Amino acid sequence: MLIRRKLLSDDADEIAQGLERLDSELRKKVDRSDLLDILKDLCVIEDAEIVRKVTWCAAKMGQNKINDERILILLSSLARSADPLVRENVAWGIGEAAGTISMADDELDALSLLLDDPEHDVRGMAAWAAGRLYHKCGILSDDAEEKLNKLLNDDSDYVRKAAKFALDG
């Protein structure tokens, strides 16, 4: 109840405290999918740290294998964020949810977009996530496969390794 109250606050410090408590519970693998609608509403706040923490919490829910499509809806809606840490969390969360939550076209489109990201950390995480989808679910669009093949020649060693994992396993 305390987390919910803090997340619904108008005060950024209270929201941040609520997100820290949520983070702590998620690290203990507590299912807090009851807060997903509130997290989605927090994504419109213009506080970068809050939005980063919201996407981290949603991705952590995916990692905890919470089977709730709202996780992917929240994440994919932020694939075009100006913040590279948010975009990296989006890719991480999609990859972590692989095999647990059915992927819709929006999530696959978000991942494809992130494979072209200007930031190598985001591209690498998106390549890893594409590999998870491919190896766990057999999902790899022609578009993603083409982009992953191009990433095999990326300037970043991290991105090249992630693309190789995605294509080869």
DSSP H helices, 8-156, are 12-27, 36-42, 48-63, 69-76, 84-97, 105-115, 120-137, 142-151
pTM score, whole prediction: 0.93
What are 99-140's pLDDT values in tens digits?
Answer: 888 777 888 899 999 999 999 999 999 999 999 999 988 888
CATH class name, domain 2-168:
mainly alpha
pLDDT bin (cut points 50, 70, 90) of residue 49 is very high
Alpha-carbon gap, residue 105 to 34, rounded angstroms: 24
Chain mean pLDDT for the chain: 94
